[in-house]
Structures are given as C-alpha cells and as structure tokens.
Amino acid sequence: MRYISDSGFLIALLDKSEQHHSWAVAIVSNIKPPFYTCEAVLTEASHLLRKSVGLRGVANLFEFVRNGTVRLDFNTAPHIDRIIELMQKYRDLPMDFADACLVVMTEQERYSSCEVLTIDSDFRAYRRHSRQLIPARLPS
C-alpha cells in the first residue's frame, strides 16, 4: 500500500492548533512513511503553514522532504491534459490544481494500491479513471 498525502493532512500533522492534528498524528503512528505527494501540494501546504504557524512550520514540512518522510513523485508536464480535464469536470466543487495532480497520481500503475490521506471531503466525489472511487482516509 502506498500513501498519498494531500496538503490538509500535512498541515494537520504540523500545526498543533489544527482541528485534525490528533487524527493526523494517529495516522503517522499507525502507518509507515513515506507519504508520496507532488510539488503542488507542497506549495499549497507551505503557503498555508506560513500563515498559521510561520516559517517554523514550513521548515518542518521541508524537513519531511529532506529526510524522506514525504517523497515527491509526480511530474506535471506529461499529465497536463488530464489535469485540465479533471479540473473542468469537477469545476463545481471546485477542484484545484493540487487535487487534480493527486487524482492523476492515483491513476498511475504504481499507485493502483494506494490511499489518499486528506481532510478534504471532495475526495469522496472525485473518481480515478472516470468511474473508480479513490481510496481515501479522512477524519470521522
């Protein structure tokens, strides 16, 4: 099983004041890293962490990348048409760039057995390969 991390999960893990912090910490204590993600998620998470906990939170996020807890495993360029297609399809939610990248990640063969770690309930509506539910772990 591979675990794909959305920005909300990373923020909850690093920001003790975030309402889902305990949930994220429990996840990390029960499953083994690495958590795979993309640059769009890191951009989103670093922006939001800087607002909530300052540069310390951003530094901790990038330390996860440096020590291998979080691994970047997505190249946008070959998938840009699919990303645009997904953002069009889910425009009413609306789907952002980071979410579209994660959905495309789940469509890759190496992620056929995966689970997205997220606090974003939109992942219950998104579909990979147009019809398949995306395995996602969300707070109760």
**Number of compact structural domains in the chain:** 1
Give me the percent of the chain exceeding a pLDDT of 70.
100
Given a cut of 90, whether residue 140 has pLDDT beyond it is: no
pLDDT band at residue 93, thresholds of 50, 70 and 90? very high
For residue 23, pLDDT beyond 90:
yes
The mean pLDDT value for 95-124 works out to: 98
> In this model, does residue 120 exceed pLDDT 90?
yes
Q: Where are the alpha helices (DSSP H) in the chain?
A: 7-14, 21-30, 39-52, 55-67, 80-89, 97-106
Average pLDDT (35-50) is 98
CATH code, domain carrying 37? 3.40.50.1010
List the domain range (segments joined by +) for residue 30: 2-137
Q: Are 76 and 104 in contact (CB under 8 A)?
A: no
Whether pLDDT at 15 is above 90: yes
Distance CA 60, CA 14 (A): 7
Segment 71-94 shows an average pLDDT of 97
